Structure formats: C-alpha cells, structure tokens
Structure 1
Amino acid sequence: MTLKITPFINLNGKAKEAIKFYEKALGAEVLSLITYGDMPEVPDMPITDELKDLVASAKLQIGESEVMISDVPDPTHVQSSKQITIGITTNDVEKSKRIFEALEQDGRVDMPFGEQPFSPGFGDVTDKFGVSFLVYTEVQN
C-alpha cells in the first residue's frame, strides 16, 4: 500500500497568481486546473460572476510531489490558523538556496538559509501568499 501526503493550499482569490509564481519559483507543472465556471451549477451554491474565474481545484507537480491549490468561495473560511507548512527537500545546497531565494521574493524570512547541525543548507521562509516553507538539504553520505 502506498500512502502519499499532498499539501492543500486554500487562497482567497489568488490561486492563479500563486500557480504562476510556483511555476517560476519551483518549476511546478500544472497537471489539472478547474475553475468554478467549469463546474456544473449546483442549486445550493450558485456560481456568481465573481466565482467563475476562480480556481475550484488545481493539481501541481513539483519535483516528485503534488500540491493542490484552490480559491475558497467564502474568504472567511481561510484563516491564519489554517496555514500550511510545506517541506521542500533537495540533495544539493545550491539548489536549496535558489529555491529559498525564489520563495522569499516579497515574502518573509523566518530563519535565514544556512548550514545547521542537521543540514548543510536549511531555511524557513513564508512566501508572499502567507504559505510557510521549510527548505531542507539532505546530508549526503
């Protein structure tokens, strides 16, 4: 049996912008993208003009992992307590550093990238969308 954990990021109307950002910063590939306008209308949830272009569900491939991204119809459902931390692991310090620097653009460095006792290159950064990333370099044996 295979068990895979996929982070799911909920945003308030910025999913398309986030997807473009992750394509550039992380080399993400869009595997699927469905807007609310693409979905059949449900009587209990009418699709307003404001919702039609928002992302209902998108799946991104980042390296060997997948991430799901969505815009929530009701922005009050996305709270700071729902933040997701995503771990990104490489086996190359320079690659880890490039990823860290790309994610920190217009974001916030929570722990500067550098050598740690447990990793030759590690840093904690929150991107401009409020998503926290731990960039970790595996120790090479």
Structure 2
Amino acid sequence: MQFTPYLSYGGLCRQAFEYYKEHLGAGKLEIMTFRDSPMAEQTPEHWRDKVMHAALELGDGALMASDCAPDQVYEGMRGSSVVLSAKTDAEAKKFYDALALGGSVQMPLGPTFWASSFGMVTDQFGASWMVMCALPR
C-alpha cells in the first residue's frame, strides 16, 4: 500500500510544483490544465490554464495536487502537513531553507529527541511542511 498526499491550491498549483521540482530534487512533473480536459468548455476562460491535476515524483513517492474548482471558494490549506524526510542533515537544511523562503516558520530546523534535524514551515504557496532527518538506528 502507498499513500500519496493530494494538496489543493487557490490558483498557484503550477508555480508551487515547478518550485518544488527545482528545489526539492524532484523527478518527473506532470501537469494537466482545465483547458486540456474534456471539461474545458464548462470552465470559465480565466480558469482554463489553472491546474486540474499535477503529479510530482519525490524520492520513492509522489505529491499530487490541483487548483480548486473555479466555482469553489478557496479557504487555504489547513489541518495537515507534508512530511519530507531527508537522508542527511545537510539535505534537510537545503529542503527546509527552500520551503521557508517567502513562507513562514512554525518551528526552526534543529535537533530533537526523535530526529537529528526537524523543522516546520508553511511555504510561500500555503502548504505546510515538516522537514526531518531521522536519527541513525
């Protein structure tokens, strides 16, 4: 079994996923817009280039997302975080710094009793992240 986080953005999905691809060492990025879908004609013209579905390879997993439907009021992301596990403390710092840029820090990156590095940040696109490097076993 595999779990894949699915995030919802209020119009910034493409920018967020292109940023993640560049700064998180991600693999393949796939984006489908409302314009590319069978629903294009039912979608307001100003929303057709927004993301209907995005998938980004991240390590052994994936992150998926979309922009909210054009008839929905976007209320932001809340109540969950994406956990990003780094292989080293240096990698954790790189990821944390990239996600914190333009965002807001909830917990500075540092050692804890459960991880050699752990920090929490909400990125510039509104997604909440927990970045960590586990203690050696």
Q: TM-score, normalised by structure 2?
A: 0.90
Aligned to 1:91: 87
Match of 2:25 among 24, 27, 30: 27
Separation (CA, whole Å) in 2 of partners of 1:83 and 1:40: 32
Separation (CA, whole Å) in 2 of partners of 1:24 and 1:131: 16
Q: Which has the larger radius of gyration?
A: 1
Following superposition, the deviation at residue 136 of structure 1 comes to 1.2
Change over 3 Å in CA distance of 1:81–1:58 after alignment to 2: closer
Aligned to 1:60: 56
Change over 3 Å in CA distance of 1:91–1:30 after alignment to 2: closer
Following superposition, the deviation at residue 130 of structure 1 comes to 1.3
Aligned to 2:9: 11
Aligned to 1:125: 121
**Which one is further off, 81-90 or 63-72?**
81-90
Change over 3 Å in CA distance of 1:129–1:31 after alignment to 2: closer
**Structure 2 regions of 5+ residues with no counterpart?**
none
Separation (CA, whole Å) in 2 of partners of 1:86 and 1:120: 18
Contact persistence 1:36–1:55 (CA under 8 A): yes
**Which one is further off, 53-62 or 23-32?**
23-32
Separation (CA, whole Å) in 2 of partners of 1:54 and 1:102: 24
Separation (CA, whole Å) in 2 of partners of 1:75 and 1:92: 43
Following superposition, the deviation at residue 75 of structure 1 comes to 6.6
Give the aligned length. Answer: 137
Contact persistence 2:50–2:67 (CA under 8 A): yes
RMSD of Structure 2 on Structure 1 (CA): 1.9
Matched residue type, 2:75: Q
Separation (CA, whole Å) in 2 of partners of 1:60 and 1:81: 18
